[in-house]
Amino acid sequence: MDIGDNMTESLDETRKGWRTRFDGVQEGYEHDIAGFLAHVEQSGVHYVSWKNNHELDAYLVGEGDIDLFVAPDHRTAFMGLAFGAGWVELENPVARFPSVLHLFRAGRAGRVYHLHVYFRVVTGESWLKEYVLPLEGFLLENRVRAGSSGIWVLNEEAQRYLFGLRHLLKGGSFSSRWLYRKGLDSYTQEWVACGGPDGWNPDVGPVALSEYVRRARLDGDGIGLPSVGAAMRFRRSLWPFLRVEGWTLPARRVGSFLTRALNKVFGKRKKVFPRGGLVIAISGVDGSGKSTMLSVMRAFFSGFVTVESYQLGRPQGRLLEAVRRLVVHRRRGRKGGAGAPSSGRRTGVSLALAAAVLAWIRLRTARRAVRAARRGHLVLVDRWPSTELGKMDGPRIVQGVSGPHGLVARLERFERWAYSRMPRADVCVVLTVSIDIALARNRDRVKEEKETDDEIRRRFEENQTVKPIANKVIRFYNDGEFDLMRDQLTETIWAEVARH
C-alpha cells in the first residue's frame, strides 16, 4: 500500500493571504538564514537542522542547502512565515517526495539561499527516499544551539545515531551503493565531524542499530560501505515504515534512473514552480542596459530554476532579419533615417509586409513563452510587445488608401489583429536611464547598424511612456552603479516571483 503523505495540507489559502500581505521585502532577516530562523523560533515554530551539519557554515552563506526538519503541526505557520519573508517554493521535476519541499530566497551580491524542508522524516536511498520513520520527537528532543549562528541542530550523539541509520539504509541495493560510494568522502567528513565511532550508542534512538553496526564498517575514522547482508536485513526490519509497497522498489529504481538520465541528456530541467511559472520581460530603449541586465538575471536564476529565454524585439531569425535590414537600409538611403510611423507618412508595401511578418512571429513567440511558463519554468524575455502605434515593439503600419495601396490596408488590419491577440507577460520591467547615459552607452556598444545619436534621442522621447502588454509594468531607473543596480533589480524581480 502506498502510504503517501498523510500530513498533506492545503496551503493555497495560506499562500494567497501571504501574497496579499507581502509588500516588498521586510528588512532584517530576509537575506540571512540564521536571522530568518530566529524569527521562525520567535513565532513558536519548532525546527532543527537534522543532517549534513558539518557544512552548516557554508550553507549559511548560500553554498548548498540546509536540511531542516519542522514539526508537522507547525507546517502551515512555518510556510506562512516563509512566504511572508519572500521565500519561493520550487520542486525537483525528477524527484518529488511527500512532506519534503525546497524553498529558495535571493540574497545580496548574487547569493541564493536554499532550505530543504522536511515535515516528516523521509529518508532511505538517495533516489527513492522510500521510508517515513517515526523520529519526529527524537529530532526535536535532541537539538542544541550551533555556535554563533544560534541555529538549532542535532546534538552529537543524535547525529551519530542518525548517521548510522542512514548509512545502513543506503547500502541495500546496487544503485544506492553506487551513489553512496560517489559521495563517500563527504559522508566520511560528516561522520568524523559528529564524533566518529568512539563511545557512540547505536541504540540511543527509537530504532535499535546495535544488531547491525558490527558489519556497518563505521569502526575507524574512515568509513566504508556496510555489508550487503547487514544493510538488507536492516532495511527489511523497517518495512513497516515503507511509504510504498516493497515489491515495487526494483521498478522504482529503474524508473528513477531513466527519468534522471533522460532529463540530464534531453530535458536539462532544474527546479520548477509547482503551480506554474511566470513570464518576466525586460524592456528599455537602446542604452538602458537591457541586454546586460538580462544576461545577469539569466545567469542568476538559471543556477537553481529552469529558465527559458526568448527574444521578442527581433525574433525573426537571421534570414528575415537580413531582409529587414536591407529594406531599412534602402529607406534610410532615400529618406535620411528610418523614422517612426506617423499619421502623415503612409507605410510602403515592403515595410508593411516586413511589419506584418514581424507581428506574426512575435505572436507565435509570445505564445510559446506563455506555454513554457505553464510548464513551471521561469521565462525571461528580451522585450515585450505594445499595442501603441509607432512605439517600441508596437505596430508599425500606417494604413494606406484604397486602390493601389489596398495591400497595405490589409496588412495593417492583420498587424492590428496580431497585436490584439498578443498574450500578456506576467511582469514587464522597463529600464529607464537619463538621455546622457543612453547616448554614452550606445556609443560604447559594439553592434551592426548601430543607432545614431539622433535616433537614440527620438526613440528616448517616443518611448518614455510605452505600455507593454503585461499584467504589471515596473519602471526601473537603471542609472546607478552596476553592482547596486544589479542587486536592486534582482530584488525587484524576486519580489514579483514571490508574489506569484
Domains and CATH numbers, the chain: 12-267 (no CATH), 278-499 (3.40.50.300)
Mean pLDDT across the chain = 86
At residue 267, φ and ψ (nearest 5 deg) are: -70, -45
Q: Which three cell numbers stand for residue 482?
A: 552596476
Q: Residue 40 carries which side chain, given as an amino acid letter? A: V
Which residues share a beta bridge with 311? 382
Q: Looking at the predicted structure, is the pLDDT value of residue 26 above 80? A: no
* Per-residue pLDDT, 7: 35
Find all residues with CB under 8 Å of 146, minimum gap 6, and list them: 49, 53, 56, 152, 153
User: Which of 113-117, 363-367, 404-408, 427-431 has the least mean pLDDT?
Assistant: 404-408
pTM: 0.86
Q: Looking at the predicted structure, is the pLDDT value of residue 445 above 80? A: no
Q: How confident is the model at residue 422 (pLDDT cuts 50, 70, 90)?
A: very high
How does strand 151-154 pair with strand 143-146?
antiparallel
Q: Of 202, 193, 196, 200, whose CA–CA distance to 223 is shortest?
A: 196
Q: List the Cα angle 458/464/466 in 5-degree steps.
A: 110
Q: Which residue has the higher pLDDT, 395 or 455?
A: 395
Q: How confident is the model at residue 339 (pLDDT cuts 50, 70, 90)?
A: very low
The phi-psi region of residue 217 (left if phi > 0; otherwise alpha if psi is between -120 and 50; otherwise beta) is: left
Q: Give dist(CA 279, CA 378) in Å, integer.
A: 6
Average pLDDT over residues 133-152: 94
Q: Which three cell numbers stand for residue 122?
A: 523521509
Q: Which three cell numbers stand for residue 203?
A: 541504540
Q: Looking at the predicted structure, is the pLDDT value of residue 404 above 60? A: no
Q: How confident is the model at residue 161 (pLDDT cuts 50, 70, 90)?
A: very high
Other C-beta atoms lying within 10 Å of the C-beta of residue 483: 11
* Per-residue pLDDT, 15: 41
Instruction: Cite the beta strand spans of 119-248 per DSSP E.
Output: 121-123, 131-133, 143-146, 151-154
Q: Report in angstroms the alpha-carbon separations of 358 from 246, 388, 413.
A: 57, 15, 14
Which of 5-9, 222-226, 257-261, 350-354 is predicted most confidently? 257-261
Q: Which residue has the higher pLDDT, 202 or 344?
A: 202
Q: Report in angstroms the alpha-carbon separations of 73 from 7, 88, 117, 154, 271.
A: 9, 21, 14, 20, 27
Q: Looking at the predicted structure, is the pLDDT value of residue 231 above 50? A: yes
Find all residues with CB under 8 Å of 461, minimum gap 6, and list them: none
In the 8-state DSSP scheme, what is residue 225? P
Q: How confident is the model at residue 446 (pLDDT cuts 50, 70, 90)?
A: low
Find all residues with CB under 8 Å of 188, minimum gap 6, and list them: 221, 222, 223
